[in-house]
Structure 1
Amino acid sequence: MSVAFIGEFFSLLFMAIALGMDAFSVGLGMGMQALRLKRIFFIGVTVGISHIAMPFLGIVIGKFISTRMEGFAVLGGGLLLFGLGVQMVLNSFNRDGKQIMKPVGIGLMLFAFSVSLDSFSVGLSLGLSGVKTFLALMLFGLASMFMTWTGLLAGKKARGLLGVYSELLGGSILCGFGLKIIFG
Protein backbone atom coordinates (compact mmCIF):
# COMPACT_ATOMS: atom_id res chain seq x y z
CA MET A 1 0.00 0.00 0.00
CA SER A 2 1.26 3.43 -0.87
CA VAL A 3 1.60 6.26 1.61
CA ALA A 4 -0.88 8.32 -0.41
CA PHE A 5 -3.54 5.60 -0.13
CA ILE A 6 -3.02 5.26 3.62
CA GLY A 7 -3.28 9.03 4.03
CA GLU A 8 -6.46 9.13 1.94
CA PHE A 9 -7.91 6.18 3.88
CA PHE A 10 -7.41 7.85 7.26
CA SER A 11 -8.69 11.20 5.99
CA LEU A 12 -11.84 9.52 4.70
CA LEU A 13 -12.19 7.50 7.91
CA PHE A 14 -12.05 10.63 10.07
CA MET A 15 -14.49 12.35 7.74
CA ALA A 16 -16.84 9.34 7.92
CA ILE A 17 -16.72 9.42 11.71
CA ALA A 18 -17.37 13.17 11.68
CA LEU A 19 -20.42 12.65 9.45
CA GLY A 20 -21.59 9.83 11.68
CA MET A 21 -21.50 12.13 14.72
CA ASP A 22 -24.73 13.72 13.56
CA ALA A 23 -26.43 10.32 13.39
CA PHE A 24 -24.91 9.46 16.77
CA SER A 25 -26.21 12.59 18.47
CA VAL A 26 -29.70 12.27 16.99
CA GLY A 27 -29.60 8.55 17.80
CA LEU A 28 -28.89 9.40 21.44
CA GLY A 29 -32.12 11.32 21.67
CA MET A 30 -34.08 8.76 19.71
CA GLY A 31 -32.57 5.95 21.80
CA MET A 32 -34.27 7.36 24.86
CA GLN A 33 -37.52 6.05 23.42
CA ALA A 34 -38.47 2.45 24.15
CA LEU A 35 -36.89 0.72 21.13
CA ARG A 36 -36.35 -2.99 20.65
CA LEU A 37 -32.96 -4.24 19.46
CA LYS A 38 -34.48 -5.34 16.14
CA ARG A 39 -35.72 -1.78 15.53
CA ILE A 40 -32.29 -0.36 16.51
CA PHE A 41 -30.62 -2.70 14.01
CA PHE A 42 -33.01 -1.67 11.22
CA ILE A 43 -32.57 2.05 11.96
CA GLY A 44 -28.77 1.71 11.78
CA VAL A 45 -28.87 -0.16 8.47
CA THR A 46 -31.27 2.41 6.99
CA VAL A 47 -29.04 5.31 8.05
CA GLY A 48 -25.97 3.48 6.67
CA ILE A 49 -27.61 2.96 3.28
CA SER A 50 -28.67 6.59 3.24
CA HIS A 51 -25.07 7.63 4.03
CA ILE A 52 -23.98 5.68 0.95
CA ALA A 53 -26.67 6.99 -1.42
CA MET A 54 -26.46 10.69 -0.56
CA PRO A 55 -22.67 11.13 -0.90
CA PHE A 56 -22.76 9.00 -4.06
CA LEU A 57 -25.10 11.53 -5.63
CA GLY A 58 -22.85 14.32 -4.39
CA ILE A 59 -19.71 12.66 -5.76
CA VAL A 60 -21.29 12.10 -9.18
CA ILE A 61 -22.43 15.72 -9.39
CA GLY A 62 -19.08 16.93 -8.00
CA LYS A 63 -17.09 14.98 -10.61
CA PHE A 64 -19.25 16.45 -13.35
CA ILE A 65 -18.65 19.97 -12.02
CA SER A 66 -14.91 19.41 -11.50
CA THR A 67 -14.34 18.51 -15.15
CA ARG A 68 -15.95 21.83 -16.12
CA MET A 69 -14.51 24.24 -13.57
CA GLU A 70 -11.17 22.80 -12.28
CA GLY A 71 -9.62 25.26 -9.71
CA PHE A 72 -12.86 26.94 -8.69
CA ALA A 73 -14.40 23.55 -8.02
CA VAL A 74 -11.74 22.57 -5.45
CA LEU A 75 -12.11 25.92 -3.67
CA GLY A 76 -15.90 25.52 -3.73
CA GLY A 77 -15.63 22.03 -2.26
CA GLY A 78 -13.44 23.27 0.58
CA LEU A 79 -15.80 26.15 1.31
CA LEU A 80 -18.75 23.76 1.25
CA LEU A 81 -17.10 21.44 3.79
CA PHE A 82 -16.17 24.36 6.02
CA GLY A 83 -19.69 25.80 5.83
CA LEU A 84 -21.19 22.42 6.65
CA GLY A 85 -18.90 22.14 9.67
CA VAL A 86 -19.91 25.61 10.86
CA GLN A 87 -23.57 24.66 10.49
CA MET A 88 -23.04 21.50 12.57
CA VAL A 89 -21.24 23.50 15.27
CA LEU A 90 -24.03 26.10 15.40
CA ASN A 91 -26.71 23.39 15.45
CA SER A 92 -25.00 21.78 18.43
CA PHE A 93 -25.92 24.90 20.46
CA ASN A 94 -29.51 25.04 19.21
CA ARG A 95 -31.34 22.20 20.92
CA ASP A 96 -34.61 23.97 21.75
CA GLY A 97 -37.82 22.56 20.37
CA LYS A 98 -36.40 19.47 18.65
CA GLN A 99 -39.18 16.93 18.32
CA ILE A 100 -38.19 13.28 18.34
CA MET A 101 -39.87 11.47 15.46
CA LYS A 102 -40.95 7.85 15.50
CA PRO A 103 -38.38 5.64 13.72
CA VAL A 104 -40.85 3.68 11.59
CA GLY A 105 -42.11 4.06 8.04
CA ILE A 106 -41.90 7.59 6.68
CA GLY A 107 -40.48 8.80 10.02
CA LEU A 108 -37.52 6.45 9.59
CA MET A 109 -36.96 7.62 6.01
CA LEU A 110 -37.10 11.26 7.07
CA PHE A 111 -34.71 10.54 9.93
CA ALA A 112 -32.22 8.77 7.63
CA PHE A 113 -32.52 11.53 5.03
CA SER A 114 -32.07 14.33 7.56
CA VAL A 115 -28.93 12.88 9.15
CA SER A 116 -27.41 12.03 5.74
CA LEU A 117 -28.17 15.32 4.00
CA ASP A 118 -24.85 16.74 5.15
CA SER A 119 -23.08 13.76 3.55
CA PHE A 120 -24.48 14.87 0.16
CA SER A 121 -22.56 18.13 0.53
CA VAL A 122 -19.42 16.27 1.61
CA GLY A 123 -19.83 13.92 -1.35
CA LEU A 124 -20.13 16.93 -3.63
CA SER A 125 -16.85 18.36 -2.37
CA LEU A 126 -15.16 14.94 -2.55
CA GLY A 127 -16.31 14.56 -6.14
CA LEU A 128 -14.65 17.87 -6.85
CA SER A 129 -11.38 16.61 -5.37
CA GLY A 130 -11.31 13.23 -7.18
CA VAL A 131 -11.42 10.87 -4.17
CA LYS A 132 -11.71 7.06 -4.42
CA THR A 133 -15.49 6.74 -4.63
CA PHE A 134 -16.02 3.15 -3.46
CA LEU A 135 -13.75 3.55 -0.44
CA ALA A 136 -15.43 6.80 0.61
CA LEU A 137 -18.95 5.40 0.25
CA MET A 138 -18.21 2.22 2.20
CA LEU A 139 -16.51 4.12 5.01
CA PHE A 140 -19.36 6.66 5.19
CA GLY A 141 -22.02 3.94 5.26
CA LEU A 142 -20.29 1.70 7.79
CA ALA A 143 -19.27 4.53 10.11
CA SER A 144 -22.73 6.09 10.15
CA MET A 145 -24.37 2.70 10.72
CA PHE A 146 -22.14 1.93 13.70
CA MET A 147 -22.41 5.49 15.04
CA THR A 148 -26.22 5.28 14.81
CA TRP A 149 -26.26 1.94 16.63
CA THR A 150 -23.92 3.32 19.29
CA GLY A 151 -26.05 6.43 19.76
CA LEU A 152 -29.29 4.48 19.96
CA LEU A 153 -27.86 2.01 22.47
CA ALA A 154 -26.19 4.72 24.54
CA GLY A 155 -29.44 6.70 24.47
CA LYS A 156 -31.11 3.83 26.29
CA LYS A 157 -28.68 4.34 29.16
CA ALA A 158 -27.75 8.04 29.15
CA ARG A 159 -29.30 11.45 28.77
CA GLY A 160 -28.57 13.91 25.90
CA LEU A 161 -25.38 15.55 27.24
CA LEU A 162 -22.99 13.67 24.95
CA GLY A 163 -25.05 14.41 21.84
CA VAL A 164 -24.28 18.11 21.90
CA TYR A 165 -20.56 17.54 22.24
CA SER A 166 -20.43 14.86 19.55
CA GLU A 167 -22.06 17.15 16.98
CA LEU A 168 -19.71 19.96 18.03
CA LEU A 169 -16.72 17.67 17.51
CA GLY A 170 -18.03 16.43 14.15
CA GLY A 171 -18.55 20.01 12.95
CA SER A 172 -15.06 20.99 14.04
CA ILE A 173 -13.54 18.08 12.12
CA LEU A 174 -15.44 19.03 8.95
CA CYS A 175 -14.28 22.65 9.34
CA GLY A 176 -10.70 21.39 9.60
CA PHE A 177 -11.00 19.30 6.44
CA GLY A 178 -12.58 22.24 4.61
CA LEU A 179 -9.71 24.52 5.61
CA LYS A 180 -7.19 21.83 4.58
CA ILE A 181 -8.74 21.70 1.09
CA ILE A 182 -8.87 25.49 0.77
CA PHE A 183 -5.33 26.21 2.01
CA GLY A 184 -3.68 22.80 1.60
Structure 2
Amino acid sequence: MTTTTSTQAPARSPSRRGANLGHWRMSPRARKANLVLHLIVSITWLGLDIGLLTLTITGLATEDPQTLRAAYISMRLFGDLLLIPAGLLTLLTGLVLSLGTHWGVTRHWWVLAKVVLTLTAVTLTIFSLRPGLHEAAEAAIATPLDDGGPDSLAPPIVSLTMYVTMVVLSVFRPWSRTPWARDR
Protein backbone atom coordinates (compact mmCIF):
# COMPACT_ATOMS: atom_id res chain seq x y z
CA MET A 1 0.00 0.00 0.00
CA THR A 2 1.48 3.27 -1.08
CA THR A 3 0.46 6.67 0.15
CA THR A 4 0.68 9.76 -1.91
CA THR A 5 1.34 13.14 -0.39
CA SER A 6 0.05 16.22 -2.08
CA THR A 7 2.24 19.27 -2.38
CA GLN A 8 -0.67 21.55 -3.11
CA ALA A 9 -2.13 23.67 -0.37
CA PRO A 10 -5.74 22.94 0.44
CA ALA A 11 -8.26 25.15 -1.29
CA ARG A 12 -9.54 27.90 0.96
CA SER A 13 -13.00 29.26 0.68
CA PRO A 14 -13.23 33.03 0.91
CA SER A 15 -14.61 34.19 4.23
CA ARG A 16 -16.24 37.28 2.74
CA ARG A 17 -17.33 38.52 -0.63
CA GLY A 18 -14.51 39.70 -2.88
CA ALA A 19 -11.74 38.10 -0.85
CA ASN A 20 -10.36 36.20 -3.86
CA LEU A 21 -10.10 39.22 -6.13
CA GLY A 22 -6.58 39.99 -4.98
CA HIS A 23 -7.61 43.36 -3.60
CA TRP A 24 -7.15 44.63 -0.10
CA ARG A 25 -10.37 44.56 1.89
CA MET A 26 -11.02 46.06 5.29
CA SER A 27 -12.22 43.90 8.10
CA PRO A 28 -15.85 44.52 9.09
CA ARG A 29 -14.72 46.34 12.24
CA ALA A 30 -12.31 48.61 10.32
CA ARG A 31 -14.95 49.29 7.66
CA LYS A 32 -17.53 50.29 10.28
CA ALA A 33 -15.03 52.51 12.11
CA ASN A 34 -14.04 54.23 8.87
CA LEU A 35 -17.68 54.57 7.85
CA VAL A 36 -18.52 56.24 11.17
CA LEU A 37 -15.59 58.64 10.77
CA HIS A 38 -16.59 59.32 7.15
CA LEU A 39 -20.17 60.10 8.17
CA ILE A 40 -19.06 62.39 11.01
CA VAL A 41 -16.68 64.46 8.88
CA SER A 42 -19.12 64.55 5.94
CA ILE A 43 -21.95 65.78 8.15
CA THR A 44 -19.55 68.30 9.70
CA TRP A 45 -18.64 69.59 6.24
CA LEU A 46 -22.33 69.90 5.36
CA GLY A 47 -23.04 71.69 8.65
CA LEU A 48 -20.18 74.12 8.09
CA ASP A 49 -21.58 74.96 4.68
CA ILE A 50 -25.01 75.59 6.21
CA GLY A 51 -23.26 77.83 8.73
CA LEU A 52 -21.57 79.77 5.90
CA LEU A 53 -24.90 80.12 4.13
CA THR A 54 -26.45 81.42 7.36
CA LEU A 55 -23.62 83.93 7.85
CA THR A 56 -23.93 85.06 4.22
CA ILE A 57 -27.69 85.61 4.58
CA THR A 58 -27.06 87.43 7.85
CA GLY A 59 -24.54 89.69 6.13
CA LEU A 60 -26.97 90.42 3.30
CA ALA A 61 -29.91 91.10 5.62
CA THR A 62 -28.28 93.11 8.41
CA GLU A 63 -28.18 96.86 8.75
CA ASP A 64 -25.74 96.69 11.66
CA PRO A 65 -22.06 97.15 10.68
CA GLN A 66 -20.87 95.18 13.73
CA THR A 67 -23.03 92.20 12.81
CA LEU A 68 -21.77 92.39 9.24
CA ARG A 69 -18.14 92.54 10.42
CA ALA A 70 -18.70 89.59 12.77
CA ALA A 71 -20.25 87.57 9.91
CA TYR A 72 -17.25 88.21 7.64
CA ILE A 73 -14.70 87.38 10.32
CA SER A 74 -16.60 84.22 11.31
CA MET A 75 -16.72 83.09 7.69
CA ARG A 76 -12.94 83.45 7.45
CA LEU A 77 -12.50 81.34 10.59
CA PHE A 78 -14.76 78.66 9.09
CA GLY A 79 -12.63 78.64 5.94
CA ASP A 80 -9.29 78.56 7.71
CA LEU A 81 -9.86 76.26 10.63
CA LEU A 82 -12.73 73.99 9.71
CA LEU A 83 -13.72 73.68 6.04
CA ILE A 84 -10.42 72.47 4.60
CA PRO A 85 -9.73 69.80 7.27
CA ALA A 86 -13.34 68.57 7.06
CA GLY A 87 -13.18 68.41 3.25
CA LEU A 88 -9.81 66.64 3.18
CA LEU A 89 -10.89 64.13 5.84
CA THR A 90 -14.11 63.47 3.93
CA LEU A 91 -12.08 62.81 0.78
CA LEU A 92 -9.57 60.58 2.60
CA THR A 93 -12.13 58.48 4.47
CA GLY A 94 -14.25 58.15 1.33
CA LEU A 95 -11.29 56.91 -0.68
CA VAL A 96 -10.34 54.43 2.05
CA LEU A 97 -13.92 53.14 2.11
CA SER A 98 -14.10 52.74 -1.64
CA LEU A 99 -10.67 51.12 -1.91
CA GLY A 100 -11.20 48.84 1.09
CA THR A 101 -14.65 47.57 0.10
CA HIS A 102 -16.22 45.90 -2.91
CA TRP A 103 -17.45 49.27 -4.24
CA GLY A 104 -14.06 50.38 -5.54
CA VAL A 105 -13.27 53.87 -6.83
CA THR A 106 -13.99 53.23 -10.52
CA ARG A 107 -16.35 50.25 -10.46
CA HIS A 108 -19.62 52.15 -10.00
CA TRP A 109 -20.66 55.45 -11.55
CA TRP A 110 -22.16 56.76 -8.31
CA VAL A 111 -18.89 56.24 -6.40
CA LEU A 112 -16.88 57.86 -9.17
CA ALA A 113 -19.32 60.81 -9.24
CA LYS A 114 -18.94 61.25 -5.48
CA VAL A 115 -15.13 61.22 -5.74
CA VAL A 116 -15.22 63.81 -8.53
CA LEU A 117 -17.68 66.02 -6.63
CA THR A 118 -15.62 65.77 -3.44
CA LEU A 119 -12.39 66.61 -5.27
CA THR A 120 -14.12 69.54 -6.95
CA ALA A 121 -15.54 70.83 -3.66
CA VAL A 122 -12.19 70.54 -1.85
CA THR A 123 -10.36 72.25 -4.73
CA LEU A 124 -12.88 75.08 -4.90
CA THR A 125 -12.75 75.51 -1.13
CA ILE A 126 -8.95 75.77 -1.09
CA PHE A 127 -8.39 77.87 -4.21
CA SER A 128 -11.56 79.95 -4.55
CA LEU A 129 -13.69 80.12 -1.42
CA ARG A 130 -10.94 80.51 1.16
CA PRO A 131 -9.15 83.42 -0.59
CA GLY A 132 -12.53 85.14 -1.08
CA LEU A 133 -13.33 84.76 2.61
CA HIS A 134 -9.93 86.23 3.49
CA GLU A 135 -10.45 89.25 1.24
CA ALA A 136 -13.91 89.89 2.66
CA ALA A 137 -12.69 89.58 6.26
CA GLU A 138 -9.72 91.88 5.66
CA ALA A 139 -12.01 94.45 4.08
CA ALA A 140 -14.40 94.16 7.01
CA ILE A 141 -11.60 94.71 9.52
CA ALA A 142 -9.94 97.58 7.64
CA THR A 143 -12.91 99.68 6.54
CA PRO A 144 -16.24 100.71 7.97
CA LEU A 145 -19.04 98.62 6.53
CA ASP A 146 -22.07 100.84 6.33
CA ASP A 147 -23.55 99.12 3.32
CA GLY A 148 -23.40 95.79 1.62
CA GLY A 149 -22.85 92.30 2.86
CA PRO A 150 -21.25 89.25 1.37
CA ASP A 151 -21.16 89.57 -2.40
CA SER A 152 -22.99 86.39 -3.29
CA LEU A 153 -25.02 83.49 -2.02
CA ALA A 154 -23.63 81.38 -4.88
CA PRO A 155 -20.63 79.67 -3.17
CA PRO A 156 -22.52 78.20 -0.20
CA ILE A 157 -25.52 77.29 -2.38
CA VAL A 158 -23.32 75.55 -4.98
CA SER A 159 -21.44 73.58 -2.33
CA LEU A 160 -24.65 72.73 -0.48
CA THR A 161 -26.09 71.40 -3.75
CA MET A 162 -22.97 69.30 -4.28
CA TYR A 163 -23.12 67.86 -0.74
CA VAL A 164 -26.84 67.03 -1.01
CA THR A 165 -26.16 65.38 -4.39
CA MET A 166 -23.47 63.22 -2.77
CA VAL A 167 -25.92 62.15 -0.04
CA VAL A 168 -28.53 61.23 -2.65
CA LEU A 169 -25.92 59.24 -4.60
CA SER A 170 -24.94 57.35 -1.44
CA VAL A 171 -28.51 56.44 -0.60
CA PHE A 172 -29.91 55.59 -4.04
CA ARG A 173 -26.71 54.32 -5.73
CA PRO A 174 -27.97 55.08 -9.24
CA TRP A 175 -26.60 53.99 -12.58
CA SER A 176 -24.83 50.84 -13.58
CA ARG A 177 -21.24 49.76 -13.31
CA THR A 178 -18.52 51.59 -15.17
CA PRO A 179 -16.68 50.02 -18.13
CA TRP A 180 -13.67 49.62 -15.80
CA ALA A 181 -15.49 47.28 -13.41
CA ARG A 182 -14.10 43.77 -13.50
CA ASP A 183 -16.64 41.02 -13.91
CA ARG A 184 -16.59 38.38 -11.24
TM tier, shorter chain?
A: 0.3 to 0.5
TM-score of the pair, normalised by structure 2: 0.38
Q: Larger Cα Rg: Structure 1 or Structure 2?
A: 2
Q: Structure with the greater relative contact order (CA < 8 A, sep ≥ 6): 1 or 2?
A: 1
More helix by share: 1
TM-score scaled by length of structure 1: 0.38
